[in-house]
């Protein structure tokens, strides 16, 4: 049984590390391929502003690591955006890490998005439970049938 917690992708790009670095850290370039990026304050702890559905997202990302031409990491809340009713932010963040490595063919870019299984929030689970009270009544008839079946099998 596998509980997925991360996504990893590796791309070898036939350009220099510096070129890839620019493409992933300069907002005007980043927005060419990660189209929701609007602007960013490029420093550790700096915010990244995103545009969702043509509006500025209320959940900016936060830059965590900058190692020039080597590693760029930020936390974002892209998965919270679609469901404001779940009150996920600021807890439902996932970490996006880009790592660059020079290889014979150019630059190896490794992308990891992680933290899916660690979205911590007992309060949110509680909220959803309250909203899903009906689910318990649906469970009970099935449970009764199973319990009666078990007892008669003894």
Residue 104 DSSP one-character state: T
Among 45, 105, 134, 150, contact with other proteins (rule: CB under 8 A): 150
Closest distance of CB 24 from other proteins, Å: 8
Closest distance of CB 77 from other proteins, Å: 11
Cβ atoms of residues 78 and 115 within 8 Å: no
Cβ atoms of residues 116 and 5 within 8 Å: yes
User: What b/e sequence results for 56-82 when a residue is b if at least 16 CB atoms lie within 10 Å of its CB, and e otherwise?
Assistant: ebebbbbbbebeebebbbbbbbbbbbe
Q: Note the residues at the interface with other proteins (CB under 8 A).
A: 1-4, 7, 9, 11, 13-15, 19-20, 23-24, 27-29, 31-36, 38-39, 51-54, 79-80, 82-83, 86, 88, 92, 109, 111, 113, 116-122, 124-125, 128-129, 131-132, 135, 139, 142-143, 146-147, 150-151
């Amino acid at each position: 049984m596998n509980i997925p917690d991360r996504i990893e992708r590796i791309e070898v790009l036939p350009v220099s590390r510096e070129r890839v670095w620019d493409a992933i850290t300069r907002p005007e370039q980043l927005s060419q391929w990660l189209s929701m990026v609007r602007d960013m304050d490029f420093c550790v702890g700096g915010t990244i502003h995103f545009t969702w559905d043509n509006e500025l997202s209320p959940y900016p990302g936060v830059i965590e690591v900058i190692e020039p031409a080597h590693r760029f990491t930020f936390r974002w809340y892209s998965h919270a955006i679609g469901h404001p009713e779940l009150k996920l932010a600021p807890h439902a963040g996932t970490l996006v890490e880009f790592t660059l490595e020079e290889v014979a063919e150019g630059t190896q870019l490794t992308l990891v998005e992680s933290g899916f299984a660690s979205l911590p929030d007992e309060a949110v689970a509680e909220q959803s439970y309250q909203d899903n009270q009906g689910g318990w009544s649906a469970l009970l008839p099935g449970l009764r049938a199973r319990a009666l079946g078990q007892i008669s099998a003894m």
